[in-house]
Amino acid sequence: MTSIFMRAGRPRTAGFAAMFIASAVVLAGCSGGGGGGDHDQVNAGDLVSKLPAAKGEVDVLKWNLPGEPETLDPANTVYYPSGTVVRNLCDSLITANPDFTLKPNLATFEVKSPTQIVYTINKDAKFWDGSPVTAEDVAYTLNRVRDPKYVLSFIMINVKSVDVTGVDEVTVNFATPDELFANEMQNIGIIQKAYTEKQGDKFGTAAGGVMCSGPYKLGKWSPGNSLTMTRNDDYWNKDVRPLAKTVKFSFIGDATALAQALDSGEIDGSYEVPASAIPVLKKSSAGRLVFGPSTQGVNINITTPDGVTADPQVRQAFQHALDRDAIAKVVYHGAATANFTAVTPATWPKAETDIYQAGYDEIAAARKYDLEAAKKLVEASDYDGTPIVMAVQAGDETISRVAQLVQQQAKSVGLTVEIRSLQPLVFTEAGYDATKRKGIDMMLQSNFNATADPLEPMGFTYLPGQPYNYTEFDNPAVTKLLTDARQSFDAKERAKMVVEAQVIIEQDASAIPVVSTNTTTFLNNRLTGAVTSFAYWSLASMTYIGSAN
């Protein structure tokens, strides 16, 4: 399961700054991996947001994605591979810095009132074909995303209208105030209206491509093999100059094969390095392995409103049966820590950490590792020994190891878990298509959110009708709390409402959190400059990487 993605611009008014900074998380790096040789183990506390700046250009950057993009349509770009590519192709109205703070990009904006924002498009902005990025293109993009068939439509649920109100001006009016909207604009890549309409259903596919204004242009996409981007030498934003002339993405999903390719120099770098590859790559003389701050985590998500996992006592039994600390240590080699709530702590707005921490600590204490408590819950439930089917992505060695430990720990309290491997594309589709989840009780999934605001992942998952609400969770109190919180611009009051909603949500236990994970990056010694925090996913990450000499 995943959430969303982002981009930005430059501050314009006090209103802009207040909305932005209130939900920005600053996770500053403090130390990191070295050059070659037998590197010291990088511990979870040694987090680095960005490597030293590059000194020169490179002709070709060979980068691996954890899978092949399922689409390049920005309206549905909600997974690691597609997001990494689209963020380099398609500018958004705002964008992120490596420390998760935000800034303007295609536009500046002014908050006219709690129910109106006006965006002013940069007059220099132009698409790859040389035509200007117009207010009509921006309004078209935002109105298109409002269609519920797109995953990112959640961002737009409070939008009343999006209108062109000037030559370079777009006005967004809201039915109710929406504190989340402005920051979420980093998640929507602006597309050219004429090109999109011409391509129709082919838009975002290997056959149809996209037309955007970003620092890289889409080159050749060979399905099942590779995807290339070429530098946009006419990029409108003169403050950004990509250092790699060409980026070639590979789709190696096997951890052993990826480790060999990185260690041999066949591949220059990769985000989302599998945990099983860490022991090999931390000793590599070819490059460095770096852990960065991240909003990512791993959850077991209940995927059906009925069946064997409908019993809340079965769900709560899993909460006590998991030895999260052992899983983090044995499987993740220091790149993860135990997590006890569906929303990872790194998602909390920094200024309100004390409010969120108090709520988190109470839940963590209530669901600590306790086999006897888990056994009693199973005995008191209606569980009859029917196998509980847990889906995992085939070829993901890290998740497979976690699944095996979950299976063993569940068995020790009387729960039978059957692990079912799904091919990567099918597993991805099952994340948003209920027809692909038939016969599956749970999915062991990596998850993340792109905005440092709990309302993003909680809204996607616990409001009625949203794409990741697998169990059809519909609690009026939660809906009111999350709705009221999204309408509030008082960060402390918002935090209190979110924590109150979280108590009810965690009692339902439709998500069984396992660990929170760091972003794990490997980069060849000939290169530097990489963003190594999870902010990489919300910005044009490939533009930073260049020669170390």
> Does the pLDDT of residue 199 top 90, yes or no?
yes
Residue with tokens 């800034």: 103
Q: What is the pLDDT of residues 347-366, one digit of tens each?
A: 998 899 999 999 999 999 99
Q: pLDDT grade, residue 143 (50/70/90)?
A: very high
> Does the pLDDT of residue 279 top 50, yes or no?
yes
In a domain, 251, yes or no: no
* Contact assessment for residue 187 and residue 92, using Cβ atoms and an 8 Å cutoff: yes
* Contact assessment for residue 473 and residue 312, using Cβ atoms and an 8 Å cutoff: no
- In this prediction, residue 30 carries a pLDDT of 32
In a domain, 379, yes or no: yes
Q: What is the pLDDT of residues 524-539, one digit of tens each?
A: 999 999 999 999 999 9
Dihedral sign from CA coordinates of 356, 360, 361, 366: positive
Q: pLDDT grade, residue 395 (50/70/90)?
A: confident
* Contact assessment for residue 243 and residue 529, using Cβ atoms and an 8 Å cutoff: yes
In a domain, 435, yes or no: yes
> Does the pLDDT of residue 267 top 50, yes or no?
yes
> Does the pLDDT of residue 9 top 50, yes or no?
no
- In this prediction, residue 42 carries a pLDDT of 37
* Contact assessment for residue 501 and residue 478, using Cβ atoms and an 8 Å cutoff: yes
Q: What is the mean pLDDT of residues 310-331?
A: 96
- In this prediction, residue 396 carries a pLDDT of 86
More confident of the two residues 3 and 64: 64
> Does the pLDDT of residue 238 top 90, yes or no?
yes
pTM of the model: 0.83
Q: pLDDT grade, residue 174 (50/70/90)?
A: very high
Dihedral sign from CA coordinates of 252, 255, 257, 260: positive
CATH of the domain at 427: 3.10.105.10
| Domain count across the chain | 1
> Does the pLDDT of residue 8 top 50, yes or no?
no
In a domain, 33, yes or no: no
Report, in angstroms and rounded to the nearest whole number, the Rg of the chain calculated over CA atoms: 22
Helix (H) / strand (E) containing 279: helix 278-281
- In this prediction, residue 41 carries a pLDDT of 36
Dihedral sign from CA coordinates of 57, 62, 65, 69: positive
> Does the pLDDT of residue 418 top 60, yes or no?
yes
Average pLDDT, the chain: 90
Q: What is the mean pLDDT of residues 224-246?
A: 97
Give Cα separations from 68 to 95, 425, 434, 438, 479 (angstroms). Answer: 24, 8, 21, 24, 35
> Does the pLDDT of residue 484 top 60, yes or no?
yes
In a domain, 462, yes or no: yes
Q: pLDDT grade, residue 40 (50/70/90)?
A: very low
The region of weakest confidence among 28-42, 269-283, 488-502 is 28-42
Q: What is the pLDDT of residues 72-130, one digit of tens each?
A: 999 999 888 999 999 999 999 999 999 888 999 999 999 999 999 999 999 999 999 99
In a domain, 440, yes or no: yes
Distance, first Cα to last Cα, the chain = 40
In a domain, 110, yes or no: no
Give the domain extent around 367. 297-517
In a domain, 253, yes or no: no
